[in-house]
Amino acid sequence: MARAGAVAKRVIVELESMGIDIKNGTTGDLADAAKAAFAGRTLDDYYTEGMCEFDAMPCIASRA
């Protein structure tokens, strides 16, 4: 669960840095830009070989 929370926090920070209000959402060009930025991403984009990209701790679950 800690890893899921860390991934969610990273996504929230990225959305906020794009100027998106995460509580109310957005529409139009800003929404399209956000969709394009996240298109095709999977959890593999946040994890590397046995390590979580956002910290130095080994990931608990296997990504296989």
Rounded CA gap, 34 and 11, in Å?
11
Indicate the pTM of the whole model.
Answer: 0.64
In a domain, 47, yes or no: yes
Is residue 20 domain-resident?
yes
Higher pLDDT, 45 or 55: 45
36: in domain: yes
- 63 confidence band (pLDDT: 50, 70, 90): very low
Bridge partners of 51, per DSSP, are: 48, 58
Q: Tell me the mean pLDDT in the region 38-59.
A: 68
Number of folded domains that form the chain: 1
Q: Which domain holds residue 34?
A: 2-52
- The answer on pLDDT for 45 being more than 50 is yes
Q: In this predicted structure, what is the pLDDT of residue 6?
A: 77
Positive or negative CA dihedral for 63, 5, 51, 38? positive
| Residues 18 and 26: beta-carbon distance below 8 Å | no
pLDDT at 64: 45
Residue 8 counted as domain residue? yes
Residue 37 DSSP one-character state = H
Judge whether 58 lies within some domain.
no
